[in-house]
Structure 1
């Protein structure tokens, strides 16, 4: 939904709204039309912002239509209710990660032994749950991702790349599980009818399972899933790419919610 200036794509001059600042500088944008569309979606739908960003990174964003009853961060690792992390969800998930996969410390040590400054700009741990690299694309060894993913898979983790970031994620941490939990809570409270459809959008490999589980889904004609030619019977692909795809996705949401 939001784009840095470098990710706008080939578009004419657009009217945009800044929705994220970092250290006082504008960082992420939506078109003015997309911002209006997002705000209007809060009436006909229970809108759940869902992201791989950490809690801190998510809270930098000022999306039209906020505040949100629920939001999902850290790739499903955290559920926020009225901006407050759900401690029980996190405790249970951490326990499952410990029993089904290698520890984050073990993964960090192994990953650290495989990288150097020649192709890695940053090595970060996200909310004590997973890690990611920011890489120099022109220097990244061609076989690095495949070899790293092959090490991770038998240990209950996986690796994927989205732009300049390479994520290393435990299998138990996924957006689709957190979305299902929020949906259950909304059903149980009576805030959401049991017949309500689940609509989803995403552009990276970490979104794929969430898109598959949705009643209907959409992805933009750019990003990791485009590179992977990701398809599914319930999936629509935008005609546009770049920031205009954000507009198209929100129009699709509005039409599908009616």
Structure 2
């Protein structure tokens, strides 16, 4: 039996680890395509980041943790795979060796039902508030939550705040990540799924019981996960940067864009036992 891993790393993917060409920022480093859509390249990491993630996954328990649906996650060839566990659907699904854990999903579904409005009720209320002049797509994800793809310039300034205020008394919340506006049940969150995976890894002897949990993410849907971790890091871009969000255990990268992903992996690596974190990070 292999030795238990000394650290658990829960990391968001889009605009934290992987980047579209439009999200590169001003840098043009050597990059590796890690996702294709309908045969076209879509998401990238720097070559250095991909190499560093492969090395990190060999010595730490790395947990990809994303708001993507299962199908969207499966498009990614994230360095270090195959993954014993992955969290998708913002915590609504846990994948075990690539397959959804049905018991976890039943637990989540029960919590959503107990929390307030149904997805169908929320969807009706949301569609009553939008129109084609600024909404490009309406999507429901894994029968858990819904999101809009919007024209940011045409989106009404007060829409997000007004919609969020409608959602919260009904057990939901709204947030924006790039061109997407997510409407999410409060019962569905990444931090709870990360805690569940941590418990399972410790019970199986695959994670040291005293191992710290480190986390990375850039969006409002990552905030709870970052706050719950022993230490967290976010890039100097994205929704949390726009909100000025901080926390006592939080580090913010120096870099923006795709180079921030490289910096985050270096920060994770520096936190491994026997390594001394770079004080400039």
How big is the shift at 1:85?
Answer: 0.2
Residue by residue over 1:146-169, the C-alpha shift from the partner in whole angstroms, topping out at 9 and shown as x without a partner, is: 000000000000000011000000
How big is the shift at 1:116?
Answer: 0.3
Equivalent residue for 2:128, pick from 84, 93, 113: 113
How big is the shift at 1:44?
Answer: 1.9
TM score, norm. by length of structure 1: 0.99
Aligned-partner SS, 1:138:
helix
2:72 matched residue in structure 1: 57
| CA distance in 2 between partners of 1:256 and 1:15 (Å) | 25
How big is the shift at 1:95?
Answer: 1.2
Unaligned runs of 5+ in 2: 1-16, 274-281
How big is the shift at 1:43?
Answer: 2.0
- Does residue 228 (structure 1) correspond to residue 224 (structure 2)? The answer is no
Unaligned runs of 5+ in 1: none
- Does residue 73 (structure 1) correspond to residue 93 (structure 2)? The answer is no
1:35 matched residue in structure 2: 50
1:201 matched residue in structure 2: 216
Equivalent residue for 1:174, pick from 153, 166, 189: 189
Aligned-partner SS, 2:126:
helix
Aligned residue runs from structure 1 range 85-234, under 5 A:
85-234=100-249
1:8 matched residue in structure 2: 24
Residue by residue over 1:14-40, the C-alpha shift from the partner in whole angstroms, topping out at 9 and shown as x without a partner, is: 110000000000000000000001000
Aligned-partner SS, 1:173:
coil
Is this contact kept in 1: 2:178–2:239, CA < 8 A? yes
TM score, norm. by length of structure 2: 0.91
How big is the shift at 1:100?
Answer: 1.3
| CA distance in 1 between partners of 2:207 and 2:152 (Å) | 44
| CA distance in 2 between partners of 1:234 and 1:148 (Å) | 31
| CA distance in 1 between partners of 2:156 and 2:212 (Å) | 42
